[in-house]
Structure 1
Amino acid sequence: MRTIINKPEVLAPAGTLEKLKVAINYGADAVYIGGDAYGLRTRAGNFSFDQMREGVAFAKAHNAKVYVAANIVAHEGDVQGAGKFFRTLRDIGISAVIVSDPSLIEIAITEAPGLPVHLSTQASATNYETLNFWQNEGLERVVLAREVGIEEIKEMRRHTNVQIEAFIHGAMCIGYSGRCVLSNHMSMRDANRGGCAQNCRWKYDLFEMPTMGEKQTETDPKTPFTMSAVDMAMIEHIPDLVEAGVNSFKIEGRMKSIHYVSTVANVYRRAVDSYCADPDHYVLNQDWVDELWKVAQREMSTGFYYGTPTQDDELFGKRRKRPQYTFVGQVLDYDAKRQVAMVQQRNNFGVGDKVEFYGPHFTHHEEVIQQLWDKDNDILRRAPDAMMVYQVPVDIPVKAGDMLRKERAK
């Protein structure tokens, strides 16, 4: 029987403190977050230093790690204060900082000794010579460009012992490793300094060149063109990733919901554990694939891992598959004596709806809502008010942190 010596880390996104705790509760070994400066997600719920301290304390209590993304492409004046920023991260207990700009890497290494540095995917590392270069500069891990294939990773592993982190699930960028200037040109927002407007996902019409006159007649006005890629999902290829030598499985999505974070972390935790426990008898569970489709917002593919993507990996034309479920609530508490769950509402649900409860360790069960009360025990038919707390009788015990979702009407 083969034994997996280096079990890969499941690394989840955490755009807020709530998402950090959810990701770790649902199986993430580590999370990556953003601070108030130097990151590429200015619209995410970035962390203050006090929130980082709370997040690090929670992570350590659950034997997990917290990384901070500081991966902007720095212009003149952007690095001011970076030394103090990195020293503060080190003193808070952040496990590593993820950086792409050489000036910020140098500042982190020289002015915050003891703070591990990981190379961001924005730096477009695509060969082992590059990995060895950054290891010689003092970096312990490289996050590969998303344009790298499985065979290339194997070649890297044969020639380097630096830690390899690779994206295995989530959105793909139309720009090379995220380096895009569409947002700069069209929205006056610098994508490489945290302001991406996701212009590639806008809907476009096609026009004749060079006059830019009438639209092409072949374009269906009901299916406008985008320049966007479908999402990545490597759930069906866990053995290939492990055997290629990937040390950390990175999930994209710091701006996604707790429904997304909990579901995706739960699935990859289950798959990684199953494979590493017995690689000789590992079998893909179709339930894992089906589970991911409950939160998918776009079609999914394997990106560049097995060759250059084709037109089937682009988002245009009619959707081939749609999201199946809506996230409706989170369990805050459970009264075992009364068999009643206290649920914080996230989307409309009510009496007669069939909902699915799911929790960490891939627990699932379905129930039909028979009764519903507010906190004052007033009887309700619907729970329409976002973030309000309702009482829901349940037949099967649930736990605080479990989630509820319901299937969308077809």
Structure 2
Amino acid sequence: MKKPELLAPAGNLEKLKMALMYGADAVYMGGKAFGLRAFSDNFEDIELKQGINFAHSLGKKAYITINIFPHNEDLPDLPDYIKSVAAMGADAIIVSDLGVFRIAREVAPTLPVHISTQANSVNWSTVKFWQELGASRVVLARELSLDDITLIRDKVDIELEAFIHGAMCISYSGRCLISNYLTGRDANRGQCAQPCRWKYHLVEESRPGVYLPVTEDERGTYIFNSKDLCLINHLPELIDSGLNSFKIEGRMKSVHYVATVVKVYREAIDSYCTSPDTFHIKQEWLDELQKVSHREYTTGFYFNKTNENDQIYTSSSYTQTHDFIGLVKEYNSETRLAVVEQRNNMKVGEEIEITQPGEEPFIQKISQMFDAEGSSIEVAPHPQQIVAMPMAKPVKPYAMLRRPEIRRER
């Protein structure tokens, strides 16, 4: 059995480091141009190089997104950008457009090219076409079933990648014109305004101002709003299908989201590959995926055509059970004090949970806190305030502090 790559999103350098420390085999990230997440933090050129180097220092990989559908005015700077990415040591670029693919092969012929899900590869002949052109991997369209994926695997000899967790786009593999039509922001050039998450009413042309119900008991509905993809319960089938890479969506998601989701899938994949005959889904994995900000979960197109049960009609809200409140920067094993960067208001006496790479989470109370000058404090209210606090167990850098809460909409 070949263990699939676990591929994580990296919206900025901190998220990249967290994803890799929590168990990702590779990350995908975008520069300030030519990617489909223009409103993510993204990376300056020097940060791209730092991210690639950090991944390589851990024996892991970094892929760069160049997956917009460019117009003529986007092309002049593209060859130099591709050459610079290749010179940085990127392990591959991810592209959607044949024109971008042609330029990449011309200016950086040894740079591996992955074909984005935006290219809508839904059959084995299309995948074979990309293979014959020289692509090294195809990210399959999200509209495929597991049976479709298995058939494609049998027909081609190229790496296959598929999304296994994260937000779902209402449009065909993300190729959407609604944002451009309503706001002038082109989703296919990285500027999506996410109008699929807006609330809509039905208005009949001759009766302006009369908002007709779209569903039985509401005057408005989120008719485009998909549930989030989650395939943790189906890892054995996914691994057995022969997919080479499992992709997590979320370059615009939080540090807490990226680290938590990566950790869950890392543990589950390793558990199955170590002992497939005794593998079972652990409740703590399911619980962890409820702690991060998410919509209700669905299996998407993997096992059936999507229907009304895969949509959320009443709200575009997210839910989560825990707040991310701090990130461990250092730990002194003699004093048992951790240096923590505050990410949300926290107080002495609160019960918190600590999760960290490669370890089981544990719960403790904040018994004391000290500010940067060593003075005792009761509360840390300032964003990214540096505090020290005793830890019940040893912790590592990149450990996260979370505060359990009553589940609520966000």
Aligned to 1:253: 250
SS class of match (1:283): coil
CA shift for structure 1 position 38: 1.0
Aligned to 2:396: 399
Question: Structure 1 length as normaliser, TM-score?
Answer: 0.95
Q: CA RMSD in A?
A: 1.7
- Between the aligned partners of 1:82 and 1:38, the Cα distance in structure 2 is 8
Task: Tell me whether 1:135 sits opposite 2:131 in the alignment.
Answer: yes
C-alpha contact 1:375 1:390 (8 A) present in aligned 2:
yes
Cα distance change on mapping 1:226 and 1:385 into 2, 3 Å: farther
Cα distance change on mapping 1:212 and 1:195 into 2, 3 Å: same
CA shift for structure 1 position 211: 3.4
1:118 to 82, 107, 114: 114
Aligned to 1:25: 21
Moved more, 316-325 or 236-245: 316-325
Aligned to 1:160: 156
Aligned to 1:73: 69
C-alpha contact 1:267 1:362 (8 A) present in aligned 2:
no
C-alpha contact 2:162 2:245 (8 A) present in aligned 1:
yes
CA shift for structure 1 position 222: 8.4
Aligned to 1:370: 367
SS class of match (1:53): helix
Aligned to 2:228: 231
Moved more, 40-49 or 22-31: 40-49
Task: Tell me whether 1:289 sits opposite 2:277 in the alignment.
Answer: no
Task: Tell me whether 1:275 sits opposite 2:272 in the alignment.
Answer: yes
Cα distance change on mapping 1:194 and 1:318 into 2, 3 Å: closer
Q: What is the one-letter code of the residue matched to 1:227? A: F
- Between the aligned partners of 2:220 and 2:341, the Cα distance in structure 1 is 37
SS class of match (1:238): helix
SS class of match (1:204): coil
Task: State the identity %.
Answer: 44
- Between the aligned partners of 1:375 and 1:266, the Cα distance in structure 2 is 31
CA shift for structure 1 position 113: 1.2
Map of 1:180-195 to 2, 5 A cutoff?
Answer: 180-195=176-191
Cα distance change on mapping 1:212 and 1:164 into 2, 3 Å: farther
- State how many pairs are aligned: 406
Cα distance change on mapping 1:322 and 1:163 into 2, 3 Å: same
C-alpha contact 1:206 1:225 (8 A) present in aligned 2:
no
The gaps in structure 1 that reach 5 residues or longer are: none
C-alpha contact 2:7 2:27 (8 A) present in aligned 1:
yes
Aligned to 1:59: 55
Q: Deviations over 1:102-161 (max 9, x none)?
A: 000011011111100000000000000000000000001000111111000010011011
- Between the aligned partners of 1:26 and 1:16, the Cα distance in structure 2 is 16
Aligned to 1:50: 46
CA shift for structure 1 position 32: 0.1
CA shift for structure 1 position 210: 5.6
Q: Deviations over 1:34-78 (max 9, x none)?
A: 012211111112112211111111111101000001000111221
Aligned to 1:207: 203
- Between the aligned partners of 2:12 and 2:362, the Cα distance in structure 1 is 28
- Between the aligned partners of 1:181 and 1:143, the Cα distance in structure 2 is 22
C-alpha contact 1:223 1:318 (8 A) present in aligned 2:
no
Cα distance change on mapping 1:144 and 1:210 into 2, 3 Å: farther
CA shift for structure 1 position 294: 0.5
C-alpha contact 2:222 2:315 (8 A) present in aligned 1:
no
Question: Structure 2 length as normaliser, TM-score?
Answer: 0.95
Aligned to 1:385: 382
SS class of match (1:360): coil
Moved more, 381-390 or 321-330: 321-330
Cα distance change on mapping 1:93 and 1:320 into 2, 3 Å: closer
Cα distance change on mapping 1:22 and 1:35 into 2, 3 Å: same
- Between the aligned partners of 2:54 and 2:220, the Cα distance in structure 1 is 46
The gaps in structure 2 that reach 5 residues or longer are: none
CA shift for structure 1 position 221: 5.7
Q: What is the one-letter code of the residue matched to 2:380? A: A
Aligned to 2:144: 148
Moved more, 20-29 or 334-343: 334-343
Aligned to 1:105: 101
C-alpha contact 1:10 1:30 (8 A) present in aligned 2:
yes
CA shift for structure 1 position 334: 1.0
